[in-house]
C-alpha cells in the first residue's frame, strides 16, 4: 500500500506537524497517515503481517516477524487505551521496518530453507503436530534456528540447520503416518498384553501380531498401499481385542470363576438370540458347531433373498420412473394429490382408532396385574402379576381372570401376531432360569390356545431368562417385577 498517495496527489500533513510527528516521519509518509487515519494504518500493517505469514516469513525470518507482531500488538493496545497518536504510529513504523527486513531475506530464505519448508508442509498434511508433537516441535525449532542464522548473516550454518530440519520433518511425517494408521492397534496390543494374552491366548495374539507387522511393513516399503495397511491394522486391532477377551475367559476358567459348561451355555444363548431373530430354534443335540452352521445357512439364504428383492426393487423403480415421466398433465397430478390426501386421511383415522383401542386395552388391567406399553408397532402386556410357584410353570387358577383379560386383548387385535415371553429375576443359574422362563411362556401359550379360538401359528412363545430385566434385581420389589410374562403383539404402525 502506498502511504503518500490519496486520489493521485499528496495530502498536506499540517495535523501531524502540529502533533510533532512529522519531525520524525517523512513528509510523504505523514501525508499518507493523515489520509488513512490510525485505524487504516493498523489494518494495513495487520494485512501485511498476515501476508508475511502466508509467505512463511515467520519461519524464514522469525525474529523480524516476531518483533513486527509485537509492535503491532503494542500499537493496538495503545490505540485502544487512548495513547497519543504519534506513539501509536511510531510502533507501526517499527513494525513496517521489521517486515521490510523479513521481506528482504525472502529470496535467500526460500532458496536455503526451501526443502525444509516443503517437507514441513508434507508433515503438516499428515497432522504431525497432532500425532507426534515432540518430533514436530524438535523439527520446528531446528527450522527456526536456521531462520535466525539467516537473519544473523550466517547462510552456511542456516543451510546446515535447514537440511537437518528437513530430515526431522520427514521423520516426523513418517512417524505420524505410522501412529495414525497403527496407533489403535498398538493400544489394543498393549491392552491384550496387560490381559496376559501372549500366555493365555497365544494363537489369537500371535495372529494379531503378524497382521500388525504386515501393516507396518507395507507403510515402510510401499506408501501407495496405505489404505490396505489401514485395513490390515484395523484387523490387527480387532484381533488383539479378541485375544484379550479369550485371555480373560481362559483366566476365569483357570481360576474356577467360570466353568467350561458356563462358557458353552453363554455361547448357546448367543446362538439362541440369533435363532430367535431368524424365527427358528437352535438344536444343540450334535453340539454348537452344527447349530451355528445351520444358522449361518439361514442367514445366507436371507441375504440372497434380500439381494433378489433389491434387484426386483431396482427394476420396479426404473419402471416407476418411466411411468412418472408420462404423467405430465395438471389433471393427472391433481388426481394424484387428491388420492394422496385421501390416503393420509384414512391412515389418520385408522391411527386414531388404533390409539383409542390401545387406551381401552390399557384400562382393562389393574396396577397389581401389570401394565400396557405401546410403541410405534408393538403393544406389550407386561404381566408382572402373572406369578408362578418357585421353579414351577403350572398356572395358578387364581390367574385365570388375568388371562381372560389377555384373551380379550388378543380378540381386540385379531390380525396381530403375538409372542408370549417368559422372564425371571437374576437369582439362580442362568441356564435354569432360561429353561424355566421358556416352560412358563409355553404354559401360558397352551392355556390361551385351549381357552380361545386362536390359530397356533399366530401365537409364539419364547423364554429370555434373566437377560431382559425391567427393574433392579437388587431389591425384592424389582425382582418381583422381573419375574413376569410379557405378551407382545405386533399391531403395525
Q: How far is CA 188 from the centre of its chain?
A: 18
What pLDDT, in 10s, does the model give residues 437-447? Answer: 999 999 999 99
Which position has the higher pLDDT, 491 or 289? 491
Contact 139, 127 (CB under 8 A): no
pLDDT band at 277 (very low <50, low <70, confident <90, very high): confident
Among 86-95, 105-114, 278-287, 347-356, the least confident range = 278-287
**Three-state DSSP state, 420:** strand
Q: What is the pLDDT of residue 339?
A: 83
Q: What is the pLDDT of residue 65?
A: 96
pLDDT band at 185 (very low <50, low <70, confident <90, very high): very high
Q: What is the pLDDT of residue 36?
A: 54
Neighbouring C-beta atoms of residue 469, cutoff 10 Å: 18
What pLDDT, in 10s, does the model give residues 231-260? Answer: 999 999 999 999 999 999 998 888 887 777
* Interatomic CA distance for residues 349 and 411, integer angstroms: 21
Q: What is the pLDDT of residue 28?
A: 40
Among 136-150, 207-221, 341-355, the least confident range = 341-355
Q: What is the pLDDT of residue 461?
A: 96
Beta bridge partners of 378: 490
Among 335-339, 354-358, 479-483, the least confident range = 335-339
- DSSP assignment of 440-457: HHHHHHHHHHHHS---GG
**397 pLDDT above the threshold of 80:** yes
**324 pLDDT above the threshold of 90:** no
Which position has the higher pLDDT, 27 or 475? 475
Beta bridge partners of 489: 379, 418
pLDDT band at 111 (very low <50, low <70, confident <90, very high): very high
Which position has the higher pLDDT, 340 or 446? 446
Packing angle of the helix pair 430-451, 260-278 (nearest 10 deg): 30
Contact 82, 32 (CB under 8 A): no
Mean pLDDT of the chain: 87
Cα-trace Rg, the chain = 39
Q: What is the pLDDT of residue 322?
A: 82
Sheet holding 459-465, edge to edge: 371-374, 378-383, 484-490, 418-423, 459-465
Contact 457, 385 (CB under 8 A): no
Contact 427, 469 (CB under 8 A): no
* Interatomic CA distance for residues 233 and 239, integer angstroms: 10
**326 pLDDT above the threshold of 90:** no
Percent of the chain beyond pLDDT 70? 91
**328 pLDDT above the threshold of 80:** no
Strand extents, DSSP E, 404-445: 418-423
What pLDDT, in 10s, does the model give residues 2-51? Answer: 333 333 323 334 334 334 444 444 444 443 444 358 999 999 999 999 99
Percent of the chain beyond pLDDT 90? 64
Contact 462, 434 (CB under 8 A): no
Q: What is the pLDDT of residue 493?
A: 66
**Alpha helices (H) in 195-225, listed in sequence order:** 197-200, 202-221
Q: Please count the CA atoms within 13 angstroms of the CA of 319 that sit on its side-chain side.
A: 6
In this prediction, residues 185-199 reach a mean pLDDT of: 94
Locate 411 and state its grid cell.
380378540
φ, ψ dihedrals at 26, nearest 5°: -60, 155
Q: What is the pLDDT of residue 286?
A: 74
**Alpha helices (H) in 222-287, listed in sequence order:** 226-254, 260-278
Range with the largest mean pLDDT of 167-171, 263-267, 357-361? 167-171
What pLDDT, in 10s, does the model give residues 56-74? Answer: 999 999 999 999 999 999 9
In this prediction, residues 128-133 reach a mean pLDDT of: 95
**336 pLDDT above the threshold of 90:** no
Amino acid at each position: 500500500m502506498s502511504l503518500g498517495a490519496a486520489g493521485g496527489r499528496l495530502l498536506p500533513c499540517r495535523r501531524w506537524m502540529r502533533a510533532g510527528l512529522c519531525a520524525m516521519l517523512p513528509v510523504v509518509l505523514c501525508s499518507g497517515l493523515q489520509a488513512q487515519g490510525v485505524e487504516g494504518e493498523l489494518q494495513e500493517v495487520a494485512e501485511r503481517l498476515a501476508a508475511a505469514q502466508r509467505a512463511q516469513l515467520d519461519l524464514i525470518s522469525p525474529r523480524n516477524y516476531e518483533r513486527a507482531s509485537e509492535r503491532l500488538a503494542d500499537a493496538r493496545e495503545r490505540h485502544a487505551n487512548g495513547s497519543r497518536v504519534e506513539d501509536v504510529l511510531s510502533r507501526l513504523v517499527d513494525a513496517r521496518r521489521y517486515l521490510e527486513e523479513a521481506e528482504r531475506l525472502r529470496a535467500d530464505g526460500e532458496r536455503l530453507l526451501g526443502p525444509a519448508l516443503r517437507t514441513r508442509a508434507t508433515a503438516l498434511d499428515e497432522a504431525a503436530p497432532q500425532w507426534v508433537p515432540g518430533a514436530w516441535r524438535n523439527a520446528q525449532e531446528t527450522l527456526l534456528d536456521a531462520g535466525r542464522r539467516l537473519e544473523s548473516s550466517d547462510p552456511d550454518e542456516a543451510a546446515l540447520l535447514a537440511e537437518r530440519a528437513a530430515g526431522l520433518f520427514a521423520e516426523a511425517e513418517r512417524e505420524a503416518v505410522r501412529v495414525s494408521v497403527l496407533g489403535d492397534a498398538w493400544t489394543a496390543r498393549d491392552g491384550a498384553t496387560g490381559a496376559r494374552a501372549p500366555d493365555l491366548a497365544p494363537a489369537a495374539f500371535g495372529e494379531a501380531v503378524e497382521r500388525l507387522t504386515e501393516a507396518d511393513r507395507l507403510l515402510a516399503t510401499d506408501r501407495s498401499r496405505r489404505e490396505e495397511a489401514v485395513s490390515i491394522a484395523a484387523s490387527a486391532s480387532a484381533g488383539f481385542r479378541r485375544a484379550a477377551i479369550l485371555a480373560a475367559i481362559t483366566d476365569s476358567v483357570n481360576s474356577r470363576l467360570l466353568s467350561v459348561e458356563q462358557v458353552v451355555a453363554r455361547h448357546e444363548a448367543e446362538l439362541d438370540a440369533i435363532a430367535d431373530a431368524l424365527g427358528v430354534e437352535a438344536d444343540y443335540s450334535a453340539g454348537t458347531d452344527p447349530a451355528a452352521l445351520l444358522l449361518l445357512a439361514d442367514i445366507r439364504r436371507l441375504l440372497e433373498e434380500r439381494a433378489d428383492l433389491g434387484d426386483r426393487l431396482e427394476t420396479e423403480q426404473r419402471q416407476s420412473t418411466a411411468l412418472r415421466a408420462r404423467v405430465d398433465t395438471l389433471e393427472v397430478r391433481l388426481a394424484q394429490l387428491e388420492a394422496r390426501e385421501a390416503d393420509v386421511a384414512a391412515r389418520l383415522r385408522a391411527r386414531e382408532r388404533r390409539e383409542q383401542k390401545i387406551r381401552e386395552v390399557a384400562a382393562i388391567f389393574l396396577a397389581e396385574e401389570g401394565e400396557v406399553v405401546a410403541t410405534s408397532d408393538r403393544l406389550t402386556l407386561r404381566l408382572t402379576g402373572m406369578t408362578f410357584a418357585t421353579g414351577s410353570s403350572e398356572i395358578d387358577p387364581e390367574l385365570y381372570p388375568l388371562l381372560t383379560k389377555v384373551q380379550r386383548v388378543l380378540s381386540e387385535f385379531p390380525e396381530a401376531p403375538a409372542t408370549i415371553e417368559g422372564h425371571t429375576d437374576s437369582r439362580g443359574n442362568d441356564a435354569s432360569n432360561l429353561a424355566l422362563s421358556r416352560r412358563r411362556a409355553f404354559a401360558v401359550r397352551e392355556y390361551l390356545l385351549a381357552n380361545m379360538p386362536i390359530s397356533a401359528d399366530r401365537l409364539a412363545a419364547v423364554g429370555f431368562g434373566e437377560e431382559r430385566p425391567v427393574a433392579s434385581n437388587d431389591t425384592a420389589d424389582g425382582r418381583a417385577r422381573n419375574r413376569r410374562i410379557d405378551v407382545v403383539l405386533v399391531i403395525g404402525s
